[in-house]
């Protein structure tokens, strides 16, 4: 496995790979790799000649009161996991390498950001879209692999690729979960022992709500009330619950088609997100 830390070096690696006619699968990450990331690496490995993983904690997507400085980092561990997972190139630039001076421009996302995480994190998805576009330009992947846990992020990136005609196929892979159902996340390390024991109830609430929809409930309002009620007994605080079309992320009062049930939940030192996406039969609005 090659470890690359500069823009010039990754461009040279990509030039060689393309000259040899080999395909590239990219897994963009912010590091502190876990089984969810490894499943994306495995998916990329199955389809491509070269698997690249980027590790970059992107300051543009953190708000002024968010956890950029304390976001978990362990590059030595990440390198070991990436090598064991079959990664060919690990691209881990520093902030100065990705943003060498004052940023002259960023991508401004205008659709699908006034709901879910975007509603309480203004500018977050501008930062996500900007860094992902930079990574796509630097690594020129044929496909990029993302986890469905960050469903809004996946939708924003899909829309970005379509809007700017970026020649990258976005592959959304299923959320990887602990045995008790909790979605794997780098932020799970912030949970107290009691919070960790309780946290699987987020996924259980989503499952029950999705089952209710599949059993015939089509009212968005009724399903929102049901999902909220399932979460009200927890020791943390609800950030949001929502039921939207996917990937458009629009409200639809009588549900049909592809629907996302989503939740964000605050514990003492961790904000957890989770979702379920299902197909509901019926005429789409």
pLDDT tens, per residue, the chain with 285 residues: 999 999 999 999 999 999 999 999 999 999 999 899 999 999 999 999 999 999 999 998 988 777 787 788 889 999 999 999 999 999 999 999 999 988 888 899 998 888 998 888 888 899 999 999 999 999 999 999 999 999 999 999 999 999 999 999 999 999 999 999 999 988 899 999 999 999 999 999 999 999 999 999 999 999 999 999 999 989 999 999 999 999 999 999 999 999 999 999 999 999 999 999 999 987 654
Q: Is 32 annotated as a binding residue?
A: yes
- Given a contact cutoff of 8 angstroms between Cβ atoms, the answer to whether 278 and 259 are in contact is yes
Select from 148, 173, 198 the last residue of a domain: 173
Place of tokens 């979960």: 177
Active site residues per annotation: 37
Residues 7 and 129 in one domain: yes
| Within a domain: 180 | no
Q: Is 149 annotated as a binding residue?
A: yes
Residues 150 and 250 in one domain: no
For 240-279, b/e burial (b = at least 16 CB within 10 A) is ebbbbbbbebeebeebebebbbbbbbebeebbbbbbbbbe
Q: Is 269 annotated as a binding residue?
A: no
pLDDT at 211: 97
pLDDT at 283: 60
pLDDT at 285: 47
pLDDT at 123: 87
Residues 139 and 271 in one domain: no
Cα torsion 168, 172, 173, 179 to 10°: value is: 140
Residues 32 and 159 in one domain: yes
Sheet with 257-266, side-by-side order of all strands: 237-245, 257-266, 271-280
| Within a domain: 284 | no
Q: How many whole angstroms separate alpha carbon 44 and alpha carbon 35?
A: 14
| Within a domain: 211 | yes
Residues 117 and 87 in one domain: yes
Q: Is 36 annotated as a binding residue?
A: yes
| Within a domain: 264 | yes
For 14-33, b/e burial (b = at least 16 CB within 10 A) is beebeeeeeebbbbbbbbbb
Residues 127 and 166 in one domain: yes
Residues 168 and 263 in one domain: no
Q: How many whole angstroms separate alpha carbon 191 and alpha carbon 271?
A: 9
In the chain, how many domains are there?
Answer: 2
| Within a domain: 145 | yes
Q: Is 184 annotated as a binding residue?
A: yes
pLDDT at 284: 53
Select from 173, 198, 218 the last residue of a domain: 173
Q: Is 21 annotated as a binding residue?
A: no
End-to-end C-alpha distance for the chain, whole angstroms: 49
Residues 14 and 155 in one domain: yes
Residues 199 and 166 in one domain: no
- 247 preceded by cis ω (within 30°)? yes
Residues 231 and 134 in one domain: no
Q: How many whole angstroms separate alpha carbon 44 and alpha carbon 263?
A: 28
| Within a domain: 239 | yes
Domain of residue 86: give its range. 2-173
Select from 122, 141, 173 the last residue of a domain: 173
Residues in the chain, overall count: 285
Residues 25 and 134 in one domain: yes
Task: Indicate which CATH number applies to the domain containing 222.
Answer: 3.30.1300.10
Residues 230 and 167 in one domain: no
Q: How many whole angstroms separate alpha carbon 245 and alpha carbon 102?
A: 37
Calculate the alpha carbon distances from 57 to 45, 60, 98, 212 in Å: 23, 9, 11, 38
Q: How far is CA 76 from the centre of its chain?
A: 23
Q: How many whole angstroms separate alpha carbon 261 and alpha carbon 249?
A: 11
| Within a domain: 282 | no
Phi and psi at residue 277, in whole multiples of 5°? -120, 130
| Within a domain: 59 | yes
């Amino acid at each position: 496995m090659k470890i690359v830390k500069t823009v010039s070096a990754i461009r040279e690696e990509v030039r060689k790979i393309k000259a040899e006619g080999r395909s590239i699968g990219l897994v963009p990450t912010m590091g502190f790799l876990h089984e969810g990331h490894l499943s994306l690496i495995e998916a990329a490995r199955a389809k491509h000649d070269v698997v690249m993983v980027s590790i970059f904690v992107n300051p543009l997507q953190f708000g002024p009161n968010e956890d950029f400085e304390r976001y978990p980092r362990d590059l030595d561990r990440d390198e070991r996991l990436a090598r064991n997972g079959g990664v060919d190139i690990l691209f881990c630039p520093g902030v100065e390498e990705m943003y060498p001076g004052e940023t002259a421009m960023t991508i401004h996302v205008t659709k699908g950001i006034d709901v879910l995480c975007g509603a309480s994190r203004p500018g977050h998805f501008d930062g996500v879209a900007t860094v992902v576009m930079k990574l796509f330009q630097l690594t020129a992947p044929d496909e990029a692999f993302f986890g469905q846990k960050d469903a809004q992020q996946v939708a924003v990136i899909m829309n970005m690729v379509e809007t700017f005609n970026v020649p990258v196929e976005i592959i959304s892979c299923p959320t990887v979960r602990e045995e008790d159902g909790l979605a794997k996340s780098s932020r799970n390390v912030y949970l107290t022992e009691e919070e960790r024991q309780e946290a699987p109830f987020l996924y259980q609430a989503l499952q029950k709500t999705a089952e209710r929809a599949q059993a015939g409930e089509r009212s968005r309002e009724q399903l929102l009330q049901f999902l909220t009620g399932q979460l009200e007994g927890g020791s943390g605080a609800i950030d949001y619950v929502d039921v939207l079309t996917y990937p458009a992320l629009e409200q639809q009062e009588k549900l049909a088609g592809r629907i996302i049930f989503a939740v964000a939940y605050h514990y003492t030192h961790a904000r957890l997100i989770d979702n379920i996406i299902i197909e509901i039969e019926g005429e789409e609005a």
